[in-house]
Amino acid sequence: MKTLFKSIRALLPVGDGFECKICDIAVDGKTIFSISEDAERDGFKPDKTIDGRDKLICAGLVNSHTHSYMSLFRNSADDLMFHDWLFGRIMPMEDRLTPDDIYYGTQLACLEMIKTGTTAFLDMNICRDATTRAITESGLKAAISRGLVGNGRNDESGIRRIEDTLYDMEAYGGNPRLRFMFGPHAVYTTDREYLELIMDKAAQYGLDINVHLSESVKEVEDCKAQHGISPVEYLENIGMFKFHTVAAHCVQLSDKDIEIIAKNKVFVVTNPISNAKLGNGFARIPDMIEKGVNICIGTDSAASNNTLNMFSDLNFICLAHKGATRTAQAVSAQQALKFATENGAAALGFNNTGVLKEGMAADLIVMDMKYPSMQPPNNLVAAMCYSASGYEVESVMVDGEFLMENRIIPHLDEERIYFECEKAMKRIDA
């Protein structure tokens, strides 16, 4: 299939940021074939032409940290501090989930992400098959990690969780839109021997690492009390950062922690809304930018955000740090949009996406400019972060395939998803 986006405003990479140009973007199969003034004059013969007037095209957004199945828990665990939220509310509900619940909760997440312009995401789940099957059916790209909790090398439940990752990798590994990672949950839910087992398996199977890190003050204090060092120092000491590591949150970092993360090229996923809502604070993003840390953005789950709409976090990461530092340049729109596209794609290991560029995968979103929030079209990078809501997105393409076109998602049954999720929560939260 050859698709031509004709005379469309496009956010194209330039230097460390973006510039907006009116151009033709030609998609041939799975790939961006050309970006030019006139693709047809240059010999491109499209099967389908989309009039780009009053539209904006951008690389698809990358949600670098979420738990898709937890969409079921949206608006059901609010106004609680982090440890009360997790141990007192979320985990007891998780214990009541069935594989079908997880499947439909994940479908709900994928539906929301498609509608708001996400084309790839990094997921941590709690069940083999159900999550991966739902993601596969959505058409989105994803890096998938089974959350790993355990103590010691012989912990049966911990070993079973590792086997869940390997099962999904074997069953779905032929899908080029999926990657798999090992997902040790956190330093407070794993011991050293179990983390070493995970690292042995990561080396054996060539998998990357996805971990929650330094999310709360309590996590850091407990780690120092137990090991005498911070969680970041602890993971460096045991050798985890020798692997490509994606670390979610990183809210409570010292100067030394930031130096370690920068030196080891750890990808830090900031979750600004979730971290604020759970009372964990704000990550030191301006300090990390200064040190050259690889930063990307995630929503976290709908149980703590309470949406998977990346536009909300694009807005909040800019505003929160400007306010917290009293510096209007603390995090710019240009920086935030790069965090949410190119940096996120690199964190997930999808090195052929995240940028509108010839030869890259055709993973892109088309936005309707005929919205008050997008008018007048003065600075459209700023619009992405400061005025867009996400629901201006009218079409989403992954590998040259429309997952949503003119706001229609033909391959997902919205009403069935809503029905099944509501039914599940009536049982779980009874």
Per-residue pLDDT tens for 154-185? Answer: 999 999 999 999 999 999 999 999 999 999 99
Could you tell me if 11 and 354 are in contact, meaning their C-beta atoms sit under 8 angstroms apart?
no
Could you tell me if 282 and 324 are in contact, meaning their C-beta atoms sit under 8 angstroms apart?
yes
- Say which DSSP state 221 is in: H
Tell me the C-alpha distance between 229 and 233, whole Å.
6
Instruction: Enumerate the CATH 2.30.40.10 domain ranges in the chain, comma separated.
Output: 2-59+352-404
Across the strands, what pairs with 364?
59, 397
- Say which DSSP state 68 is in: G
One pLDDT digit (tens) per residue for the chain, 430 residues: 999 999 999 999 999 999 999 999 999 999 999 999 999 999 999 999 999 999 999 999 999 999 999 999 999 999 999 999 999 999 999 999 999 999 999 999 999 999 999 999 999 999 999 999 999 999 999 999 999 999 999 999 999 999 999 999 999 999 999 999 999 999 999 999 999 999 999 999 999 999 999 999 999 999 999 999 999 999 999 999 999 999 999 999 999 999 999 999 999 999 999 999 999 999 999 999 999 999 999 999 999 999 999 999 999 999 999 999 999 999 999 999 999 999 999 999 999 999 999 999 999 999 999 999 999 999 999 999 999 999 999 999 999 999 999 999 999 999 999 999 999 999 998 7
Which tokens hold the place of 220? Answer: 């850091």
> For domain 61-348, is the CATH number 3.20.20.140?
yes
**The whole model's pTM is what?**
0.97
Alpha-carbon radius of gyration of the chain: 21
Q: Is 197 exposed, middle or buried (0-12, 13-18, 19+ CB in 10 A)?
A: buried
* Residue from 186, 195, 263 nearest 219 by CA: 186
- Torsion from C-alpha of 44, 177, 272, 323, nearest 10 degrees: -20
Across the strands, what pairs with 295?
268
Which tokens hold the place of 7? Answer: 């005379």
The H or E element spanning position 397 is: strand 393-398
* Residue from 173, 197, 198 nearest 183 by CA: 198
Q: What is the pLDDT of residue 430?
A: 73
Which tokens hold the place of 376? Answer: 């007048």
- Sheet with 245-249, edge to edge strand ranges: 61-66, 118-125, 141-148, 178-184, 208-213, 245-249, 267-270, 294-297
CA distances for 429 relative to 110, 219, 309, 362, 425, angstroms:
23, 28, 25, 41, 6
> Distance between alpha carbon 184 and the CA centroid of its chain, in Å?
17
Tell me the C-alpha distance between 331 and 289, whole Å.
9
Instruction: Enumerate the CATH 3.20.20.140 domain ranges in the chain, comma separated.
Output: 61-348
Tell me the C-alpha distance between 428 and 430, whole Å.
6
Which tokens hold the place of 43? Answer: 């010999």
Which tokens hold the place of 34? Answer: 């050309």
Could you tell me if 189 and 152 are in contact, meaning their C-beta atoms sit under 8 angstroms apart?
no
Residue 149: count of CB within 10 angstroms of its CB: 18
Class for domain 2-59+352-404, per CATH?
A: mainly beta
